[in-house]
With several copies, the nearest count.
Chain A
Amino acid sequence: MLSIAVDRVYQVLAPDGKLVDTPPDLAPDRLLAAYRWMVFGRQFSDRMIALQRQGRMGTFAPLNGQEATAVGLALPLAPDDWIVASYREVLAYMMRGVLPLTIAQVHRGEVGIYPRQANCLPYQIVLGTQMLHAVGVAMGIKYERKPNVVLGVCGDGATSEGDFNEALNFAGVFKAPVVFVVQNNGWAISMPRSRQTAAHAIADRAAGFGMPGVVVDGNDVLAVYKVVAEAVARARAGEGPTLVEAQTYRLGAHTTADDPKKYRPEEELAEWVARDPIPRLRAYLIGQSLLNQAEDTHLHDGVRAEIQTMVDTLEALPPQDPLVLFDNVFETMPPALASQRDALRRDLGRE
């Protein structure tokens, strides 16, 4: 069992950045790196939204408000650990080494090539399905007696899918080294969490599959880190899976195609703006004298420049080659597909 109980929302930092529990043992440079990633996620998301509005980007799922969960869950991982997640967790993927440029390419509607050593499966669109892949990777790790763990990450809505539940059950039965993290951001498009399941907490699902469940303040990066780190240690030690529910909030629209005003009370948004994870960590860092105003401005500027460079690179890329798609259906192209490719090549005048 975990040292952190399920019956309350675990917190380390209050919304004003004051400590309410022991902070994790994280060196200042790691704390600052975490903060920078959170800032990076926010700016990346804002920039993607802006690009989409200008017709320079495809559909994007903003991650604003959820930076603490993404960063907190990626932070405890070792280089050979894995993350298997959905479209909303791209910030965690970037921390694993998937280039922001690649993420942007995929959102723009191109093939994105992740570095294999990032150990991230392509972000998932079909809700919940990736949780079984996470368990499968973990079963592979266990079979090979490797010391690694897998984080399977999904949203609150995805927990209603059969696959989510099957994943928990397989993980429990096989004691797979996997940690399930549910990014409960309050909404699944227009469906509030309260109507997604009648359970008190999503973490209550854990007992039914024989594993511990924990609820953590998903806007408190230190709390997320501590809970996930403990669950990861447990999995690494061969003690099996854990279900972590990170309670956070989607500050923006579901995607750039969505208008939350149609279904979401304004007051709720206001409440959560007050719990924004980035000012919270900033207040803590400033309080601990790990950051000052000038450094913060500098950090923000650095992130902005980095993202601008990424966008410039993205927009200078040659357009996606349609013929490339034919190469990735099978390792060896079947004859019918080859002749379909040849026909298209002729059609495109590229013989």
Chain B
Amino acid sequence: MPRWTMVEAIHNALSQELARDPRVLIFGEDVGKNGGVFRVTDGLQARFGEERVFDTPLAESGIVGTAVGMAAYGLRPVAEIQFAGFSFIAFNQIASQAARLRYRSGGVYTVPLVIRAPFGGGVRTPEMHSDSVEAYYMHLQGIKVVIPATPYDAKGLLHAAVDDPDPVLFLEHMKLYRSFRQDVPEERYVIPLGQANVVREGTDVTVIAYGAMVGVALAAAAEIEKGDGASVEVIDLRTIAPLDEAAIEASVGKTGRAVVVHEAARAGGVGAEVIAVINERCLYSLLKPVERVTCPDMPFPIPTVEDVFIPNPARVAAAIRRTLEP
């Protein structure tokens, strides 16, 4: 089995989708000859031709808007927004168009569209490149939001996203692109959207995370288990919308303690919804307030100091300890 980085896993999934279904088209800024600014689409244009993999003019609303048209027509566009922060320019096309055409048309037209976009801090990019945008899209109805945490998941979730008959926003954390390798089967496999993954079992406290924060949560869990002797369960949400409420309930119902971790600002973030779900589904099991470990309520921090702000294992461990206090 090959050992792939997340970039390689995504590249493989894209190339398999191109090979498998002539309706799949890949486009965006610099995805063609240049192979994407992160090399995710490297060589795909050469292999599948300029009709299948092509560069667009520099206009995010244009990319999503034309993709909506292609999808409604019957194709399976996989559009790239070069950095998720620039999806704000396409916000209307995503919110009022991609996510609504099925609803508006009474199901006559659908938008089987995947929008891929890198995001995430810790890699010292210029402004707007690192912003975590998932919460905006979580509140939008009619679109799914997927954030893989590993190369294996990235491939399986991306195949599922391309299969999905509805629009999917597929957010790829830049720090995970090349930070580690994993055994990834070459053959196509699908990880269903909407299902969280218990990446570490435990009994005393649940840490809920996604994307790059899964690794941070796992590191904190190991530290706690070693240092404090408590058993930490870690849940990787994998899909932010729809949220796997049952998985959250099952775990927190069992542990009675929870920490939720994300890079995005706190106010109105995914953490709030996770807490609301816990409140609704297992409040009586809850022994301590759910802790939120997030970036502060401000724009994403500038490169030189971003590491100070992004949740790290120490900060997550401290939050876990607070939930474990008697």
Contacts and interface: CB of A to CB of B under 8 A. Distances in A.
Interface of A: 58-59, 84, 87, 108-114, 116, 121-122, 125-129, 131-141, 143, 157-158, 160-163, 166-167, 169-170, 173, 188-191, 195-197, 257-258, 262-263, 319-322, 324-331, 334-337, 340-341, 344, 347-348
A132 B62 contact: yes
B182 interface: no
Given A189-B30, A328-B103, 18 more contacts: A121-B109, A126-B86, A131-B65, A132-B64, A132-B66, A132-B68, A133-B72, A140-B70, A141-B73, A160-B62, A161-B60, A163-B65, A170-B57, A190-B30, A262-B35, A319-B304, A325-B298, A329-B298
B297 A136 contact: no
Given A169-B62, A325-B103, A109 B69 contact: no
Interface in B216-231: none
B108 interface: yes
Given A160-B58, A169-B59, A347-B315, A109 B124 contact: yes
A253 B61 CA distance: 26
Interface in B86-111: 86, 89, 92-93, 96-97, 101-110
Contacts, number: 232
A70 to B, nearest CB: 19
B308 A136 contact: no
A326 B153 CA distance: 30
Contacts of B51: 143
B68 A133 contact: yes
Contact of B61 (A84, A132, A262, A319): A132
Given A125-B127, A161-B58, A262-B33, A137 B70 contact: yes
Nearest to A196: B57
30 contacts: A110-B302, A110-B304, A122-B104, A122-B105, A122-B108, A125-B129, A126-B86, A127-B58, A129-B65, A129-B97, A132-B64, A133-B69, A136-B70, A136-B72, A137-B69, A143-B51, A160-B57, A161-B60, A161-B89, A166-B59, A170-B62, A189-B29, A189-B34, A191-B57, A322-B308, A322-B309, A328-B102, A328-B107, A331-B102, A336-B267
Nearest to B267: A336
A325 B305 contact: yes
**Among all A-B residue pairs, the 9 with the closest Cβ atoms:** A136-B69, A132-B65, A109-B303, A190-B34, A140-B73, A334-B242, A136-B66, A166-B62, A133-B69
Contact of A334 (B86, B124, B194): B194
B32 interface: yes
A260 to B, nearest CB: 9
A126 B92 contact: yes
A170 B308 contact: no
Interface residues of B, number: 77
Contact of A348 (B29, B68, B72, B308): B308
The prevalent SS among residues of A at the interface is helix
Contact of A329 (B59, B61, B142): B142
Contact of B65 (A167, A324, A347): A167
A191 B302 contact: no
Given A122-B105, A190-B32, A327-B107, A58 B126 contact: yes
A180 to B, nearest CB: 13
Contacts of A262: 33-35
B305 to A, nearest CB: 4
Contact of B75 (A59, A140, A263, A320): A140
Contacts of B35: 262
A91 to B, nearest CB: 18
B267 A196 contact: no
| Best-surrounded residue of A141, A143, A197 (most CB of chain B within 10 A) | A143
Interface string B179-202: 000000000000000100000000
B33 A190 contact: yes
A128, A158, A257, A328 — most chain B CB neighbours (10 Å): A328
B33 A328 contact: no
A334 B34 CA distance: 38
